[in-house]
Structure 1
Amino acid sequence: MTNRRFTYVLILIAACLAFMPVHGFSQNTPKVEKGVRYLYLIRHGEYDHEDKADSKTGKHLVELGHKQAGFMGKRLKKLRLKFDTFVSSEYTRARETADDIGKSLKLTPTRDPLLNECTPASASDKKEPAEDDTAGCDQRLDEAWAKYVQASPGGDLHDVLVCHGNVIRWFVSRSLSGSGKLWRGMTIANASITVIAVRADGSTRVAAFSDTGHIPADKQTWTGDGAGWQPKAKTK
């Protein structure tokens, strides 16, 4: 091939490249990565177990419960994240916990009855129903899952849900096994944080469970035996 012909071929190639759409080359096409939705599931603080409030209102936090919620608020603040959702159940103990957290975050929580405490049908072997049992619990939790466990349409999202032990354990069971039936095999601490990550394809993973690292050991509480230690006084 003569130099003149070679030069002519190069000119033709350059012309073709100039008019070829950019999307014809995958390496030149920016790859849009969808983000992850992080659900921060927070259980309410320690509450007054002797409170006679009706089940639609729920029981109030004791002084220790408010302190636990304060520790949680400080922890979330240190994350320096923009929280896209901040919601609690309608029950008093969850509302008060969220309100205490909101003071640190400078945010006002909304309320959602889908997050109210209830006992799933898999606890049917209980001799006596709990006072906060709710008809249609599993259906309501399914609705809560469908509402909050959604892939992010864009970048990372951070949602804070302040609710209850049964609700959080059900979410974790559903995330790990595809079913909410394993929830009874877990113990969860008051004012603990559980994190579920929702990937772009809708799949989930449990990134943290019942984390109480923000609460001093002598101020940590569980329903039941918990991790084997309890503070001497649950009210202070």
Structure 2
Amino acid sequence: MGTRYLYIARHGAADAFGQLTPAGRSQAGLLGERLAAMPLDAIWHSPLPRAAATAAELARRLPAVPVAAAHELIDHVPYVPDAAERPPVWAGFFDGFDEAEAAEGHQLARALVARFAKPADATTHEVLITHAYQVAWLVCHALDAPPARWLGLNSANTGLTVIEYRHGQPAAIVMFNDLSHLPADLRWTGFPDGARP
């Protein structure tokens, strides 16, 4: 029985129209260089343009690795917490989410986990280029944390998270939001302004 290694990253920095910025292209290229030594089997990406363009930049550094869209990686709110679970600072964020939208997001989150968050029959190494909420959801799931805990996790653009799935063992978070492939001026995009180490 094999181990599934997921190398999960948020897309590169994007503009207000969802297109990669020059910084985002640089971030994606540097992530591709970092992953070039890994025995990768596939690069999966969200169908949204910022994720697809990030995957294309990776593919330029990883020309032998197949690249394909995976609908489960699309940007969505994976879980809308009820009022008792919701931190006050998030209250306004969920205004306007109706039951149908919440159910659709949760259905996509279940599909994401069902497709990727499990061991494989043979050892595989897969890259997932997705969005901050999906990275948070996969980490939350791997830790078996309460579903509302995805709210406390955020990822920088091209921050690398690695999760291992082995048969008969809990999922292992190898790293979360690692930015060591980026120079200081390209780190921490995708977060509010503030002091960063």
Confirm or deny a common fold (TM above 0.5).
yes
Alignment of 1:56-205 (within 5 A): 59-77=18-36, 80-106=37-63, 107-122=65-80, 125=91, 126=93, 128=95, 136-154=104-122, 156-201=123-168, 203-205=170-172
Q: Distance in 2 between matches of 1:39 and 1:127?
A: 30
Residue 148 (structure 1) shift: 1.1
In structure 2, C-alpha distance between the alignment counterparts of 1:209 and 1:226, rounded to whole Å:
20
> Residues 156 and 190 of structure 2 are in contact (CA less than 8 Å); yes or no, is this contact kept in structure 1?
yes
| TM-score of the pair, normalised by structure 1 | 0.71
The 2-side partners of 1:64 and 1:168 are apart by 21
- Any stretches of 5+ residues in structure 1 without a counterpart? 1-33, 52-58, 231-236
Quick one: percent identity of the two aligned structures? 27
Contact 1:175 1:205 survives alignment (8 Å): yes
Q: CA separation in 1, counterparts of 2:109 and 2:28? A: 24
What residue identity is the alignment partner of 1:174?
H
Question: RMSD of aligned C-alpha atoms?
Answer: 2.3
Q: Does the C-alpha gap of structure 1 residues 213 and 76 become closer, same or farther in structure 2, counting only changes over 3 Å?
A: same
Letter matched to residue 213 of structure 1: S
Structure 1 stretches of at least 4 aligned residues deviating more than 4 Å after TM superposition = 127-130
The answer to whether the 8 Å contact 1:41/1:161 transfers is: yes
Q: 1:104 to 1:209 in 2, by over 3 A?
A: same
**Partner of residue 21, structure 1:** none
Q: Deviations over 1:15-57 (max 9, x none)?
A: xxxxxxxxxxxxxxxxxxx3321111111000002x2xxxxxx
Once residues 174 and 139 of structure 1 are traced to their aligned partners in structure 2, the CA distance between those partners, rounded to angstroms, is 14
Q: What is aligned with 1:12? A: none
Q: Which runs of 5+ in 2 are unaligned?
A: 83-90
Cα distance in structure 2, aligned partners of 1:66 and 1:72: 10
Bigger radius of gyration among the two: 1
CA offsets, 1:201-225, max 9 Å, x none?
2631111100110000111133333
Paired AA for residue 68 in structure 2: T
CA drift at 1:150? 2.3
SS in 1 for 2:126: strand
Q: How many equivalent residue pairs?
A: 184
Q: Alpha carbons of 1:127 and 1:39: their partners in 2 closer, same or farther (altered >3 Å)?
A: closer
Gap change, CA 1:190 and 1:87, over 3 Å in 2: same
